[in-house]
Structure 1
Amino acid sequence: MSHIELRGVRVHNLKGIDLRLPLGKLIAITGVSGAGKSSLAFDTLVAEGRRRYIETFAPSARQFLERIERPDADALENLPPAIAFRAEATFDQRATLGTITETDDLLRMLFARLGRALCPRCETPLIARTPDDICRELQTLLDGTKFIVAFPSAKSDDAIANWRQLGFVRTIELPESKSEFLIVVDRLVAGRTDAARVLESVEQAYSHGDGRCVVLDESDGQDARTLEWEGRNWRLASHSRRLICGACDVEFPPLEPDLFNFESSLGACARCSGLGRIKGSAALLDCPDCSGSRLSAVGRSVRLLGRTTIARLRELRLLELTEFLDELITAVEPTERTLVANVLSELSVRLRTLLDLGLGHLSLSRSPRNLSRGERQRARLAGVLAMRLDNALYVLDEPSGGLHPLDAERVLAAIRRLQEAGNTVIVVEHSQLFVESADEVIELGPGAGREGGRIVSQRTPTTFPLPLGEGDRRPGEGPHSLDSPMHVEPLSERKPLERSTRAINSDQPFGPRPLSEGEGTKQRRTPGGISLEGVTLHNLNRLDVTFPLHQLCVVTGVSGSGKSSLIEHTLFPALCQRFGIACDVDPIGKFTALSGAEQIDEVVFLDSSPIRRSARANAATMLHLLGEIRCLFAQTTEAKVKNLSARQFSFNASEGGRCPRCRGLGAVEIDMQFLANLTVVCPECQGTRFQRDILDAKLRGLSIAEVLNLSADEAFSFFRGQPQLQRRLKSLKDVGLGYLPLGQSASTLSRGECQRLKLATLLASRSRKRTLFLMDEPCIGLHARDIAVLLECFRRLIEVGHSLIAIEHRPEFIRAADWVIELGPGAGDAGGKIVATGSLLGERQL
């Protein structure tokens, strides 16, 4: 079959849909937030693909794997093995770019096989020799040269007797040692002895000498280490399977990958436990033992090409690391090159993938926590793209998230190569670039939540016009024409911008201006804004910048240009310090001056990270709706008759009316013993969370479980006459979450929904403080129609005196901004400068 067949899919809000998806194609699934895109892509296709793959394992192997239930569907046919890429990811404090892309694993293998160790104390070369190494060296002796293979042994009468019983009758005294002597294994002649006999003798010496072997060959007496035996001078050469420094009399562990692994007890620095940093009196400091490299002394002493440590390679930019590998390939011996051929090939592929995705400015040592969202997204995606599988199903969740359009084109090209290798690739996307480039587009909708879950259309992009957010494309417009929202050329390439019609106040307008020549890193201070001077962090070097207040200010630029370093890691901590607010951001950028903060009362940073609360957290609890709802239910006739208080209508309180079986979660976990635990709907409360007598209390004909199942839009109408509840519910509607059920667990929300729910929580608080909202990509995961709703919400915030600064790449959003600051011109060392500032209102007002 040439298609994946789906019939009667009813997962979550999907309404029994039927689909035929072509194999070997790039397919885009789009639609408004909450339309059912993830339910189709991940909870149906990926879940069933993984379930079938696991079913092929033997029962003894399946017991160690996660159990996956079959999706609710009539038929799912011709489904390949599925590989998923979800945008959400968490990283521990030890994670680096090298570990999340598995590049570091290959680098460690390379050092274990080709590395040359030095004694950490005296820097004497430490060489572990195999029997083959010794035999190859003996083959270089001149024909006719006599040599002896021996091994050292403790000197005692008992030892001599024991060795003689084993057939070793000849011994050699060592003048410099009173505790050891040599036991002769064999006496041979170079060029006249069979190579197999030489190898056998060396292996015997290693076996009886506890990994040590001594070779003596005829010498003219001029060598540094010689001895006289049987009337001749012999040159001594000591060898060992282990790394031993004769000068320091210290043995070191053999070279193996874990020796270079800061997550292993063998390779991690003992003082900092592989973290590279220790706690100082006021801040974290580089560990004085490992200088921040995280490795033990032995791991730090191993070198490639006699000069470069693994710590140094981890600090190189990926472009420089690629150049070093090219040099290494030409410099090593052919036999060594053969030994690591597979490692070098795989390492080159992974580095090339990272470079193709525009990450050449990063180093393997960078923590993913310190990367921008776009860099993190591409780094994780690189691991997926480097798998080099075929006939597989790849499902990617918004691969364009966090990417500037220029970066998105690189990602699209890499994904296209993945599809052309014989795989089926499905992307859940809103980016017009990806949608227009797909072989087939499936749009779900027409609305969100209960209003979604249907197939709106399934066509190729060339057969129907695609939505542009604020109006259709005019006749004759190309997909990337200058007037298309997809096309946002760098501000630095625009003509000088006209003055904005908006002003911060009537006395001090904040207008755009063209950059003067040679002014790459400065922006003139303008009254009516917040100014930072001398910002230094990562690629930001003494940057001066001013942000207007009471406007929507967008900071944009290619991924890695310094946006997150400026906003999240410098401006936000600086304002937190100014207002005495705790801030757990790390690292924190330095600056020389902050001015204009007196014009605001507080600062709030909003991103799309998952909401870290209990499994019971939902919109009703976060917006403090549940307390009032419980009071209303306590006032009903049924509640008064049964003497039920408001506390009885809580699924959080242990002494309340929650279901005792599931403890208010609505689901229970069953211990499957040798199989993975299984989560099922609670059989006692049927997922309602409450006891039966609590559900008997009705408010306008609905129980509390039925009320919590209402969407925000439905609840707004239901709670007519309750202005406090309606005000809070309106905040959900204002941010485009009107479709969200009040009781839906926050742990099931998408990234975009998490960010908007956080915003709705702040809107519901009705704070009278002048607030500066800092937002990291508020359009993440949003359809163009959702963006329009969000922009309207932002406008209302500005009208009541708040200010917004957003990091964003979506063209629709940038064109609606009052002020734009573009960082660049490139990423990494090529970025960190203000390329241009200004307003787009003079060109086009959305």
Structure 2
Amino acid sequence: MDNNKIIIIGAKENNLKNISLDIDKHKFNVVTGVSGSGKSSLVFDCIYASAQSSFYETLSTYIVKNLPKINKPNVDNIYNLSPCVLIEQKKLGQNPRSTVGTYTEIFTYLRLLYSRIGYPIYDSSYFSFNTPKGACEKCGGLGFELKPDLNKLIDYNKSLNEGAIKHRTWKVNSRYFNIQKVSNLFDMDKKIKDYNDKELFDLLYKESTKISQTSFGVVQTFSHEGIITRIMKRQGDSRGLSINDYDRTFFVEDNCSECLGSRLNSKAREVKVNGKTLVELLNMELFDLYKFICEIKDEVAVEIINKMEKDIQNLINLGIGYLTLNRGINTLSNGESQKIKLAKSIDNSLNELIYIMDEPSTGFHARDVYKIINSIKNIVERGNTAIVVEHNRQVIENSDNIIDIGPKSGNEGGELIYNGTTKGIIKEPKSITGQYLNDKKKINFEHKKISKYYELNNISIHNINNLNIKIPLGILTCITGVSGSGKSSLIKYILDYDKKIVKVGKDNVGINSRSNVATYTNVFDIIRALFAKENNVDSGLFSFNSKGACENCGGNGYIKMDMHFLGDVKQECDVCHGKRYKNDVLKYKLNNKNISEILNMTIEEALIFFDNTEIKNKLQILKDVGLEYLRLGQTLDTLSGGEVQRVNMSKYLDKKGSIYVFD
């Protein structure tokens, strides 16, 4: 057996058709193919999952039970795997306390630097905005203040009983609404505009107060606190709760009036190194910070300075030298996030690792793609293997080997079309990738006339200052620019400014095993109604999430067995045999098909089967975006990233007169 190759035998995960292949180790390997062809199934669901499962087997059960579960893939064997490093298409997080400096750990070394050679001398914890010693007393280390926009939060012309509070936590009959009611602090039928100062204070700013109530002989205790007081406490939660983003829609965000956005308290802000405060360094662009660090000459800090020089240089080499260490990671674009992840791997002294990357060129300007290529090549030169899922032509042409999966998507994909050098793929007639690389296929362009514009003036956000824009209406407009130029910031401003504009992206989709193509696009509601009308029964019978669900598997079609630290094992339900429904429900027919048979139809087949105009219109859009091979009952958690984005897109494209933003 050749130990210089990863040998995969019988990969059958998702749509992969029992493929076997070898992947060269210590090479730059690119996996190509159209969206939904099976690339992710091979790379992430087979190779990465196998490596993680094997790694887990070396750990104690105590450790493994606290790690994310990895299910063993549907593959006969994979040989010669090494530990894997995954660099995927995900933002770094939404925690408001995490910055470029904290994520890259450069801030940690800056804190050490200031505690060693700064004056006056303080312990390292005094320079952390995530500790009580270092955090700004006013904003708690967040760097900003949230000022309530009471007009967004309250309808002054309504009473509490009429739903004066617009925030969903305090909607009528909710838990917190009922606490307001039993507190006896408010006249629930009184218009908010008629509240006196004390009543308004109690409603918005009152500190937590215990309230006891006796009901049916039982004493219940509640805590009432003002709406703004409660929301502000949630904003200070370091866990980055998902509701925080919703809460912020009722506030205006502004720099902290005490620390001016630096996050640090007055003591930490006073200490200087070479005449500069830590705040000044945190707000420097990385280009300037690198020059400043290189000029520090102090024997006490040599190791600290050398480490920072390397880390900052890596970020600059990846084209993000314009960032500052104080930049919140929740404000970074996907491209910037991936570059930061990659930068952390560049100086890793370990070798014989497998680096798995998911379209690392995403979000990169053509000018910057060579930087990502050079970084991958450097990783390989240190004795590692790179396996990269990619669509970018520059990345593909600079790879050592291409593994092409296809030829098409879904059931028409999952085959190994080509495995070899870059030059050879253009001669493979079955490879769509090869045809584009050989310029035998090209994208057609149709130019349209511009008649109207969407205009916005005086836009200021992040690095954009007083920008005026005119976006043509009725055509496809691309917002371009190098990474960090302000594209994402501009889109964020537009979406916040105009709530009628629709953003389409993977983050809009709730991906789980209960949601499928039919349910997500709302086609299933219409289909269930047709079944109910045809058979004169309740439409709830035709929902596998409700009355019609198989009682044995709960409508999943399978039984999930929790194997604890070994991951979950799914077995087809032996009662419904994967059909998800009770037998009684399957007796009902629509044009001689039961509900399970219809969910098993492809979109192409369903377009022929149904004559309902609304169903046909929705399914036609799915076909138009290239998803005619998907089955109506295919769950969203089995789709690739490109397929999820197109399913999401189809949900909106049957509307007219809207502006859509695709990120």
**Length-normalised TM-score, structure 1:** 0.60
Partner of 1:106: 109
| Residue 604 of structure 1 pairs with residue 502 of structure 2 | yes
Which residue, out of 608, 611, 618, partners 1:721? 611
Which residue, out of 493, 497, 502, partners 1:570? 493
Residues 60 and 114 (structure 1), Cα distance of their counterparts in 2 relative to 1, 3 Å cut: farther
Alpha-carbon shift at residue 364 of structure 1 (Å):
1.3
Residues 19 and 327 (structure 1), Cα distance of their counterparts in 2 relative to 1, 3 Å cut: same
For 1:689, the aligned partner's letter is: R
Alignment deviations for residues 195-241 of structure 1 (CA, whole Å, 9 cap, x no partner)? xxxxxxxxxxxxxxxxxxxxxxxxxxxxxxxxxxxxxxxxxxxxxxx
Residues 65 and 503 (structure 1), Cα distance of their counterparts in 2 relative to 1, 3 Å cut: closer
| Residue 27 of structure 1 pairs with residue 18 of structure 2 | no
Conserved in 1, the CA contact under 8 Å of 2:14 and 2:638? no
Partner of 2:145: 278
Question: Secondary structure of the equivalent of 1:390?
Answer: coil
What is the alpha-carbon distance in structure 2 between the residues aligned to residue 8 and residue 547 of structure 1?
51
Alignment deviations for residues 728-756 of structure 1 (CA, whole Å, 9 cap, x no partner)? 11111111222333233334544433332
Conserved in 2, the CA contact under 8 Å of 1:64 and 1:676? no
Structural mapping, 1:107-506, within 5 Å: 107-116=110-119, 125=120, 127=121, 255-256=123-124, 258-282=125-149, 283-305=252-274, 307-328=275-296, 330=297, 332=298, 334=299, 336-337=300-301, 341=303, 343-465=304-426, 473=438, 502-505=448-451
Partner of 2:214: none
Partner of 1:649: 542
Structural mapping, 1:779-790, within 5 Å: none
What is the alpha-carbon distance in structure 1 between the residues aligned to residue 627 and residue 530 of structure 2?
24
What is the alpha-carbon distance in structure 1 between the residues aligned to residue 576 and residue 268 of structure 2?
58
What is the alpha-carbon distance in structure 2 between the residues aligned to residue 432 and residue 105 of structure 1?
38
Residues 63 and 743 (structure 1), Cα distance of their counterparts in 2 relative to 1, 3 Å cut: same
What is the alpha-carbon distance in structure 1 between the residues aligned to residue 58 and residue 447 of structure 2?
65
Residues 670 and 295 (structure 1), Cα distance of their counterparts in 2 relative to 1, 3 Å cut: farther
Conserved in 2, the CA contact under 8 Å of 1:318 and 1:361? yes
Residues 610 and 310 (structure 1), Cα distance of their counterparts in 2 relative to 1, 3 Å cut: farther
For 2:647, the aligned partner's letter is: L
Query: Greater CA deviation, 59-68 or 47-56?
Result: 59-68
What is the alpha-carbon distance in structure 1 between the residues aligned to residue 313 and residue 487 of structure 2?
25
Question: Secondary structure of the equivalent of 1:560?
Answer: coil
| Residue 545 of structure 1 pairs with residue 469 of structure 2 | yes
Alpha-carbon shift at residue 51 of structure 1 (Å):
1.4
Residues 51 and 109 (structure 1), Cα distance of their counterparts in 2 relative to 1, 3 Å cut: farther
What is the alpha-carbon distance in structure 2 between the residues aligned to residue 293 and residue 461 of structure 1?
49
Instruction: Specify the structure having the higher radius of gyration (Cα).
Output: 1
What is the alpha-carbon distance in structure 2 between the residues aligned to residue 703 and residue 456 of structure 1?
37
| Residue 40 of structure 1 pairs with residue 42 of structure 2 | yes
Residues 98 and 661 (structure 1), Cα distance of their counterparts in 2 relative to 1, 3 Å cut: farther
What is the alpha-carbon distance in structure 2 between the residues aligned to residue 570 and residue 660 of structure 1?
48
For 1:722, the aligned partner's letter is: N
For 2:128, the aligned partner's letter is: N
Conserved in 1, the CA contact under 8 Å of 2:501 and 2:661? yes
Alpha-carbon shift at residue 275 of structure 1 (Å):
1.7
Query: Greater CA deviation, 698-707 or 308-317?
Result: 698-707
Which residue, out of 635, 651, 658, partners 1:761? 651
Partner of 2:82: 80
Gaps of 5+ in 1: 117-124, 128-242, 244-254, 476-482, 486-499, 506-527, 582-601, 777-846
Conserved in 2, the CA contact under 8 Å of 1:267 and 1:295? yes
What is the alpha-carbon distance in structure 2 between the residues aligned to residue 763 and residue 667 of structure 1?
33
Residues 324 and 702 (structure 1), Cα distance of their counterparts in 2 relative to 1, 3 Å cut: farther
Alignment deviations for residues 755-810 of structure 1 (CA, whole Å, 9 cap, x no partner)? 3222201123xx34x2222322xxxxxxxxxxxxxxxxxxxxxxxxxxxxxxxxxx
For 2:545, the aligned partner's letter is: N
For 1:107, the aligned partner's letter is: L
Residues 677 and 75 (structure 1), Cα distance of their counterparts in 2 relative to 1, 3 Å cut: closer
Conserved in 1, the CA contact under 8 Å of 2:563 and 2:569? no
Conserved in 2, the CA contact under 8 Å of 1:97 and 1:368? yes
For 1:21, the aligned partner's letter is: I
Conserved in 1, the CA contact under 8 Å of 2:71 and 2:566? no
- C-alpha RMSD of the superposition: 3.0
What is the alpha-carbon distance in structure 2 between the residues aligned to residue 14 and residue 266 of structure 1?
55
Alpha-carbon shift at residue 93 of structure 1 (Å):
2.7
What is the alpha-carbon distance in structure 2 between the residues aligned to residue 30 and residue 751 of structure 1?
14
Which residue, out of 730, 740, 749, partners 2:620? 730
For 2:286, the aligned partner's letter is: L
Question: Secondary structure of the equivalent of 1:771?
Answer: coil
Alignment deviations for residues 800-839 of structure 1 (CA, whole Å, 9 cap, x no partner)? xxxxxxxxxxxxxxxxxxxxxxxxxxxxxxxxxxxxxxxx
Conserved in 2, the CA contact under 8 Å of 1:609 and 1:751? no
What is the alpha-carbon distance in structure 2 between the residues aligned to residue 25 and residue 444 of structure 1?
19
What is the alpha-carbon distance in structure 1 between the residues aligned to residue 584 and residue 103 of structure 2?
51
Alpha-carbon shift at residue 726 of structure 1 (Å):
1.7
What is the alpha-carbon distance in structure 2 between the residues aligned to residue 610 and residue 698 of structure 1?
34
Residues 368 and 685 (structure 1), Cα distance of their counterparts in 2 relative to 1, 3 Å cut: farther
What is the alpha-carbon distance in structure 2 between the residues aligned to residue 762 and residue 267 of structure 1?
47
Gaps of 5+ in 2: 150-251
| Residue 774 of structure 1 pairs with residue 656 of structure 2 | no
Partner of 1:8: 10
Residues 277 and 725 (structure 1), Cα distance of their counterparts in 2 relative to 1, 3 Å cut: same
What is the alpha-carbon distance in structure 2 between the residues aligned to residue 686 and residue 115 of structure 1?
70
What is the alpha-carbon distance in structure 2 between the residues aligned to residue 705 and residue 671 of structure 1?
27
Identity of aligned residues (%): 34
Alpha-carbon shift at residue 501 of structure 1 (Å):
6.8
Alignment deviations for residues 703-746 of structure 1 (CA, whole Å, 9 cap, x no partner)? 433432433223323x2323321211111111122233323333
Conserved in 1, the CA contact under 8 Å of 2:94 and 2:330? yes
Alpha-carbon shift at residue 25 of structure 1 (Å):
0.3
Question: Secondary structure of the equivalent of 1:657?
Answer: coil
For 2:599, the aligned partner's letter is: L
Conserved in 2, the CA contact under 8 Å of 1:667 and 1:679? no
For 2:539, the aligned partner's letter is: A
**Length-normalised TM-score, structure 2:** 0.76
Partner of 1:839: none
Conserved in 1, the CA contact under 8 Å of 2:36 and 2:639? no
- Equivalent residue pairs, number: 551
Alpha-carbon shift at residue 78 of structure 1 (Å):
0.6
For 1:382, the aligned partner's letter is: A
Which structure would you say has the larger RCO, counting Cα contacts within 8 Å and 6 or more residues apart? Answer: 2
What is the alpha-carbon distance in structure 2 between the residues aligned to residue 69 and residue 716 of structure 1?
35
Conserved in 1, the CA contact under 8 Å of 2:89 and 2:334? no
What is the alpha-carbon distance in structure 1 between the residues aligned to residue 139 and residue 577 of structure 2?
50
Partner of 2:582: 691
For 1:537, the aligned partner's letter is: I
Residues 60 and 751 (structure 1), Cα distance of their counterparts in 2 relative to 1, 3 Å cut: closer
Question: Secondary structure of the equivalent of 1:691?
Answer: coil
Question: Secondary structure of the equivalent of 1:46?
Answer: helix
Which residue, out of 514, 517, 521, partners 1:619? 517
What is the alpha-carbon distance in structure 1 between the residues aligned to residue 442 and residue 288 of structure 2?
38
Kindly indicate which of the two structures has a greater share of residues assigned to helix. 2
Alpha-carbon shift at residue 387 of structure 1 (Å):
2.9
Alpha-carbon shift at residue 544 of structure 1 (Å):
3.1
